[in-house]
Amino acid sequence: MAGQQKVAVIGAGTCGVSMLKTLSEDGFQVTCFERRKQVGGLWAYTDDPSMTTALPSTRALISKYTCGMTDYPMPEKYPSHLSSAQFQEYIESYARHFDLLKDVVFGASVTRAARNEDDTKWRLEMFVNGEPQSEEFDKVVFCHGYQTISKMPDYEGKELFEGQLMHAQQFRSTKGLEGKNVVVVGMSSTASDIINNLLPVASNVYMSHRRGGYVFPTWRKGVPGDLMVTWRRRQITAFIQRRLPSVYKWCTDKGLNFFMRSHWGRLDPEWRVLPAPSISLSLPGASNSLIPLLQEGKIASVHGIKRFTGPHSVELNDGTVLDDIAAVICATGYTANMSVAPFLERSRPANYDGPDLVRLWMNIFPPKYADSMALLCHSAYGKNNGFSFNDVQSMAISNIFRGVHPLPPLSSMNAAVDAHHEWLASRWSKEQLGFEPSAVKTWEFQAFLHDVAGTGMENLGWGWKGWKFFFRDPKMSWLMNNGVETAHAFRYFETGKRRTWEGARDAIIRANEAVKVFPVKEERRRLICRGGREGGTVEITVLFVEEKGDCMFNFVLCIADILITLTPIQLLKACKSQTTVYSEKKNVK
Ligand SMILES: Cc1cc2nc3c(=O)[nH]c(=O)nc-3n(C[C@H](O)[C@H](O)[C@H](O)COP(=O)(O)OP(=O)(O)OC[C@H]3O[C@@H](n4cnc5c(N)ncnc54)[C@H](O)[C@@H]3O)c2cc1C
Ligand SMILES: NC(=O)c1ccc[n+]([C@@H]2O[C@H](COP(=O)([O-])OP(=O)(O)OC[C@H]3O[C@@H](n4cnc5c(N)ncnc54)[C@H](OP(=O)(O)O)[C@@H]3O)[C@@H](O)[C@H]2O)c1
């Protein structure tokens, strides 16, 4: 059945190559269309300013221990956090290893998918190396990214401004900004990347933000931050989010305020980093350098932009006017490109005055065409470790397309979409500035995909299956519940619904062995900030020095662990506290 079916995958980023591999393994005839010239998605650097790209200086936020694919371990040669070039290399080697490149049409930009005249297939319209083409497919999966269209603020008086006004998507180098004053709008990861690039060359860098925000470090006390998350902790969090949302909100807001102060130290109220919008309603940012740079006076925190008042002047929300500004770079985020899917229906619940909401069942499937169309670009909050979750999505979609997992009736899917829209409307009523229409209930989204994919993760729960696995193989039960949250776990259990990987057990054990080097007693991590690819460099050296004290955060975490999972060993581990000391070294070539 699958063998006679032609499937198109749009996009060859991490999501697309995973989809291509899984569908091919499951017997579909798959073609992947990618507008770039190589795989890797936004990790494949491009000079084309219309495409989102990680900069050469960008490093993954998630460590290599938790972000590889399910059946292709990260090579040991990589550092804990991969550079963009290394990430592209990893995805490229994955594609070569599984012989996927032969099925990718590069330079193919899909403009539209629509049903054919007799409503039996999908017709894709595209430009392949500039030539218009169209082709019909039985099924289509859009893996074309969720950071594709720039969100650009529309400022009053922008026509008066004679400097450069651009979105971060267009930013490639600091050329022309040497010795100039630059405003970067936003206080999240992209703003941080751009600020780090500007620092060695610009005269003054202003970080403009309209409100506060949580800024997560990628390291905490000598340990990559993502290693704090385990499968068990994730399940506990999901349980509280689902059953006690108010308690979750209260605890996370209080906990994160405490975390921000305990991790970063002094946060001058003038910087307006705190108070931050609730993490339950707005996504946080990640950066190792933004707060230290504020503390060291290397960048200035200023209010949001109100309007442009002259060729080089900007008025801020607090009335301050910044003069002699050469460029304003808006690192204000992205959305997915839905224009390629004009068949999508939209609706809005009663008493809701936000933007129209797309009708996608489980934020993936258009209900009417759920057995032949999936979009993987509309699920903010849904993927925990962005990359490793790709295979779970791919296995789930393939199982639905193959009929291994039955779809509910159309009326049930529509009812679920309506209920989800009601949930979104309730979020809109609480938070409009950072409202994310693609938000999903993480607990529901992930549980659904694991179930459909047949990953067998219920063997790690507190149910009888969990205990059975614990008594059969206590070591693996312990590692998979409380150890590194590696994606190899998703290929471990035999469920008959998807392929297992015979190397999974060894890979899980190896990943847990590898992280025994943490916490590092003295880790020098150089954050090299370049002005363009050829400009000067500033090095911010982060030193982790072992020290007693500041156990509070770990203590609270451990009490929770003990209460819920009775795992006292974690207490001992976590009380080996460390602290982070920042020093800065200037080295302008
Ligand atoms: C700078 C940056 C850094 C990030 N760092 C992290 C991180 O450290 N950890 C993490 O978990 N997440 C991170 N993210 C989130 C990021 O979205 C994921 O890392 C991941 O790259 C998403 O993969 P994807 O395949 O869904 O999309 P993308 O990587 O965006 O790939 C989509 C692909 O589709 C192609 N495409 C788009 N439209 C079309 C079309 N119409 N026709 C044909 N091809 C098309 C694009 O060229 C691209 O190759 C980062 C995002 C950004 C912007
Ligand atoms: N690995 C890396 O190093 C790396 C680098 C870059 C990006 N990323 C990832 O890429 C994704 C996108 O990150 P991003 O930083 O581009 O976007 P983002 O996380 O959505 O942050 C956007 C920022 O712009 C602000 N903002 C939005 N609209 C604004 C407006 N109209 N006026 C003023 N401020 C506005 C937001 O603050 P408020 O809305 O709260 O005001 C926020 O600070 C994230 O998932 C991120 O993790 C990772």
Ligand 1, atom 26, lies closest to the CA of 145
Q: Is ligand 2 within 6 A of the CB of residue 382?
A: no
pLDDT at 69 over 60: yes
Residue 384 Cβ < 6 Å to ligand 1? no
Q: Is 33 in the pocket of ligand 1 (CB under 6 A)?
A: yes
pLDDT computed for residue 521 by the predictor:
63
Tens digit of pLDDT for each residue in 276-296?
A: 999 989 888 999 999 999 999
Cis peptide before 349 (omega within 30 of 0): no
Structure tokens at 268: 């001058």
Buried residues in 34-51 as b, exposed as e (16+ CB within 10 A)? bbbebbbbbbbbbeeeeb
According to DSSP, residue 304 is labeled: P
123 pairs with which residues across the strands?
114, 136
pLDDT at 400: 98
More confident residue, 580 or 494: 494
Q: Which atom of ligand 2 is nearest to the CA of 60?
A: 1
Task: Just give the CATH number of 152-227+237-332.
Answer: 3.50.50.60
d(C-alpha 219, C-alpha 542), whole Å: 10
Write the pLDDT tens digit of every residue in 388-441: 899 999 999 999 999 999 999 999 999 999 999 999 999 999 999 989 999 999
Burial of 587 (0-12, 13-18, 19+ CB in 10 A): exposed
Question: Which token pair is 547?
Answer: 């020290």
Ligand nearest to the CA of residue 211, numbered in listed order: 2
Per DSSP, 503 falls in state T
Per CATH, domain 6-148+336-453 is 3.50.50.60 = yes
Which own/partner pairs from 427-435 qualify as long-range (CB within 8 Å, at least 24 positions apart)?
427/281, 428/352, 428/353, 428/354, 429/352, 430/281, 431/277, 431/278, 431/281, 431/282, 432/354, 433/210, 433/211, 433/277, 433/282, 434/277, 434/281, 434/282, 434/283, 435/354, 435/355
Task: Provide the β-strand partners of residue 316.
Answer: 305
Confidence of residue 221 (pLDDT cuts 50, 70, 90): confident
Q: Please state the rounded mean pLDDT for residues 29-38.
A: 98
Query: Could you tell which of 67, 147, 150 is best to mutate to test the pocket of ligand 1, judged by most ligand atoms within 8 Å of the CB?
Result: 147
The answer to whether 30 and 164 are in contact (CB under 8 A) is no
- Residue 554's pLDDT band, with cuts at 50, 70 and 90, is low
Convert the pLDDT of each residue in 158-189 to its tens digit.
999 999 999 999 999 999 999 999 999 999 99
- What's the rounded Cα separation, in Å, for the pair 12 and 38? 8
The residue nearest atom 35 of ligand 2, judged by CA position, is 332
Q: By alpha-carbon position, which residue is closest to atom 37 of ligand 1? A: 144
Q: Is the pLDDT of residue 385 over 90?
A: no
- Ligand 1 centroid–CA 552 distance in Å is 37
Q: Which ligand is closest to the CA of 149, given by its number?
A: 1
- Residue 96 has a CB neighbour count (10 Å cut-off) of 11
- Alpha-carbon torsion 88, 224, 500, 27, what sign? negative
Q: Kindly give the distance from the C-alpha atom of residue 267 to the centroid of ligand 2, in angstroms, as a whole number.
A: 20
Using one digit for the tens of pLDDT, what is the confidence trace for 508-551?
Answer: 999 999 999 998 864 444 443 333 333 444 444 444 433 333 45
Task: Report which DSSP code applies to 72.
Answer: B
Range of weakest confidence among 51-65, 141-155, 463-477, 563-577: 563-577
Query: Are the folds of 6-148+336-453 and 152-227+237-332 the same?
Result: yes
Ligand with minimal distance to 48 CA: 1
The answer to whether 281 and 252 have CB atoms below 8 angstroms apart is no
d(Cα 52, Cα 362) in Å, to the nearest integer? Answer: 26
Three-state secondary structure readout of 349-415:
CCCCCCCCEECCECCCECHHHCCCEEECCCCECCCCCCCCHHHHHHHHHHHHHHCCCCCCCHHHHHH
Of 376, 532, 528, 450, the C-alpha closest to 45 is 532
Q: How many CA atoms lie within 13 A of 365 on its CB side?
A: 26
Work out which ligand 2 atom sits closest to the CA atom of 212.
Answer: 40
Tokens of residue 312, six digits: 């080089």
Residue range 81-121, pLDDT digits in tens? 999 999 999 999 999 999 999 999 999 999 999 999 999 99
Phi, psi dihedrals of residue 158, rounded to the nearest 5°: -65, -25
188, 194, 211: residue to mutate for ligand 2 pocket, most atoms within 8 A of CB: 188
Phi-psi region at 532: left, alpha or beta (left = phi > 0; alpha = psi -120 to 50): left
Residue 25: the pLDDT is 97
Measure the CA–CA gap between 313 and 79, rounded to whole angstroms.
43
Please tell me the residue having the least CA distance from ligand 1 atom 29: 41
Integer-rounded Cα Rg, in Å, for the chain is 24
Query: Which residue, by CA, sits nearest to atom 41 of ligand 1?
Result: 110
Sorted by where each begins, the domain ranges of the chain are 6-148+336-453, 152-227+237-332, 459-519, 522-588
Residue 326: DSSP 8-state: E
110 lines ligand 1 (CB under 6 A): yes
- What confidence tens digit (pLDDT) does each residue in 120-146 have? 999 999 999 999 999 999 999 999 999
Q: How far is the centre of ligand 1, averaged over its atoms, from the C-alpha of 587 (Å)? A: 32
Give the C-alpha distances (Å, rounded to integers) separating 153 from 167, 304, 326, 332, 355: 9, 11, 18, 8, 16
Q: Which of 10, 48, 144, 375 to mutate to test the pocket of ligand 1 (most atoms within 8 A of CB)?
A: 144
Q: Provide the β-strand partners of residue 129.
A: none
Q: Give this prediction's pTM.
A: 0.91
The rounded Å distance from CA 178 to ligand 1 centre is 30
